[in-house]
Amino acid sequence: MTSPELESARRVARRHGEQIGRLIKDAAEINIKIHCAAESLLTRQSPDGFWCGELTADTTLESDYILLQLWLHQPEGAQWDPPSRARIEKACRSILERQLPNGGFNIYRGGPAEVSATVKAYCALKLAGRDAESEPLRKARERVLALGGLQATNSYVKINLSLFGLYPRQFAPTVPVEITLLPGNVLYEMSSWTRSILMPLSIVQARGANRRAPDGFTVDELLLPGMSLKLPKKNKFSVLFHHLDRVFKVWEKRGSQHIRGAAIREAERWILDRARSTEGLGAIFPAMMYFIMALDALGYPKDHKDLADAVHHFESLILETGDRFIFQPAVSPIWDTAISVFALGEAGRKDHAGMRRAADWLISKEVRRKGDWSVKRPDTEPSGWAFEFANEFYPDIDDTAMVLLALMHAKGSDLAAQAAAERRAINWLLAMQSSDGGWAAFDVDNNWAVLNHVPFADHNAMLDPTCPDITGRVVECLCRRGLAEHEAVRRGVAYLLQAQEKNGSWYGRWGVNYLYGTFLAMRGLAASGVPGAQEAIARGADWLRATQNPDGGWGESCASYARDRFLPAPSCVSQTAWAVLGLLAAGRSGAAVSSGVQFLLERQRADGTWPEDTTTGTGFPNVFYLTYGMYRDYFPLLALAQFA
């Protein structure tokens, strides 16, 4: 070898040596970060085996809490002094802490003022004794009027205020209690959460019209002059339902009391059956609140077990420490536990003692009774997991798939019992596939679109249609469970392929938004191994790379739902982790992945956790969003573990 050739070879060797050295150093750093994150997660495990992070939302929950106290503790004339006064004051401070500089209140962190949230906050604060001419209320009132006034709020604001004579009853939608008597299981064509909200609310409207606010109390100052109070009519279907609403209002006054009485009794039976097998009706805030109001309207004494239990479960949603007072819309132990276990398993912690405790706890939470889902699947053996500690009528498909993924990494004390639970859950998932090939959250073929036009459907969640994010997770779960050749997987893959947006992304129903839907759809398609899916996966990867922020991370605004397109936001660790996981599913390990991983590494704190103050969870698109307290920790751990 000549001298120049030798020198060239030495330079190449040095370069390779430096690259290998950097790789070893980077790998060591990543492994240290993974170890810290895993240890941090394990220290937060409950002795019983579960994880449960905080689940928070906007000020509407604290506002509704104050209105509920007015329902339960009626004023004497102009005076209102409920026994819950100390908590009401805490709730007021909690609301005011989140008021925007322009006087409004938003429904996600960093979002603009929203009229319904602002009206609720104003009403609650004024009801609690805040001066209407104080700066916070004056600015809130100005913001309400700028946003269209009380007339622009959603149906549930108008219904709630109408219960106390604070909004004209004739302009608030009627939820007819007679819906329980309709043939053809019409009730079960609505989403599960809508059923659990509407049934007690229908009783409240039928029996609770005699409630009142303190003498002289009004919110008429929120009405925008010149704006009609009539319900909006958007199309021929909404016109039809508005005519029906007028019929219902006439029926309320002149209809058969025998039929109405039978409907109320059936609705009462329905809500009691479902509340006695859970920690509150539906285990979600609005249903639990209306359940308390319904039992009270039906004359249940305060010390009746059903009513006392309902109040206890409702108040268990409060996060109260010192001056802090925040309501959770629900609790998320099964969800948080399943994702934590899966992330820890991917990080190589399968043999940790906490994994066995987690598996035992999860197996103990399998649902073994038939719930609302069985109306359309009567011959299916019950199984599945709910979102909360106890919600037996409402196991959901997303949690069930996530638990099955987690149990691949965690083995319980009784392997035979675990195997039986897994078999039942897989069969339940297969049975819950909708006719279009996708999976929804709670039900099968819950897509009767005409119901979106009823007057009280503006919570944007009247139905529970199939969606790419849940379908992607289920497909991944089934494939990793050895069912890649199953017909259900083939149909699920076909659904995902047709659901892809033109730009290569997928819509995310339960997480914000296209980043969430895209990473889960890509993981499902990649797990399937279907050759025809590769082009779709590559297009998804191209979209992810194109939406990366200059700092190496990813961020997406909740406003993406309102605009029907991706809207970038400052990078956050949970959404960055989703994007990295999507790119890894595509087999992409280039600059986009490296910079995304670097973003996560640089922001991890010394205790193994990550900072994040971003709303990345979706309850009802455009209406209600969620902040999961543990997303910022287990998703980055999962992304780093799979990268490593």
Over the stretch 155-165, which tens digit does the pLDDT of each residue have?
A: 999 999 999 99
Integer CA distances (angstroms), 560 to 514, 564, 578, 626, in order:
8, 6, 16, 15
If one counts the domains in the chain, the total is: 1
CA dihedral 185, 191, 196, 200 (to 10 degrees): -70
Q: What is the pLDDT of residue 21?
A: 46
Tell me, yes or no, if 81 is annotated catalytic.
Answer: no
Q: What is the pLDDT of residue 16?
A: 43
Half-sphere exposure of 98 (CA within 13 A, CB side): 31
Domain enclosing residue 103, as ranges? 60-327
Q: What is the pLDDT of residue 450?
A: 84
**Is it the case that residue 564 has pLDDT exceeding 70?**
yes
**Is it the case that residue 23 has pLDDT exceeding 50?**
no
Question: Where would I find the H helices in 209-332?
Answer: 236-254, 257-275, 285-297, 305-315
pTM of the entire structure?
0.93
**Contact, 310 vs 280, CB < 8 A?**
yes
* Domain annotation covers residue 619: no
- Among 348, 361, 432, CA closest to 398: 432
| CATH number of the domain encompassing residue 239 | 1.50.10.20
* Domain annotation covers residue 570: no
* Domain annotation covers residue 430: no
> How many Cβ atoms from other residues are within 10 Å of residue 13's Cβ?
10
Q: What is the pLDDT of residue 8?
A: 58
Question: Where would I find the H helices in 59-181?
Answer: 60-72, 85-97, 115-127, 135-146, 155-162
Q: What is the pLDDT of residue 27?
A: 77
Q: What is the pLDDT of residue 228?
A: 87
**Is it the case that residue 279 has pLDDT exceeding 70?**
yes
Segment 236-278, tens digit of pLDDT: 666 666 667 676 666 677 777 888 899 999 999 999 999 988 9
Which of the residue ranges 95-109, 253-267, 362-376, 484-498 would you say has the lowest mean pLDDT? 253-267
* Domain annotation covers residue 396: no
* Domain annotation covers residue 235: yes
- Among 8, 34, 72, CA closest to 345: 34
Question: Which of 398, 399, 469, 633 is labelled catalytic?
Answer: 398
Tokens standing for 592? 């986009």
* Domain annotation covers residue 177: yes
Q: What is the pLDDT of residue 15?
A: 52
- Among 605, 453, 562, 470, CA closest to 37: 605
Question: Where would I find the H helices in 378-513?
Answer: 397-406, 415-431, 468-480, 487-499
* Domain annotation covers residue 548: no
Mean pLDDT estimate for the chain: 92
Q: What is the pLDDT of residue 451?
A: 86
Integer CA distances (angstroms), 156 to 57, 172, 557, in order:
17, 8, 25
* Domain annotation covers residue 428: no
Mean pLDDT over 14-19 rounds to 47
Mean pLDDT over 73-99 rounds to 95
**Is it the case that residue 20 has pLDDT exceeding 60?**
no
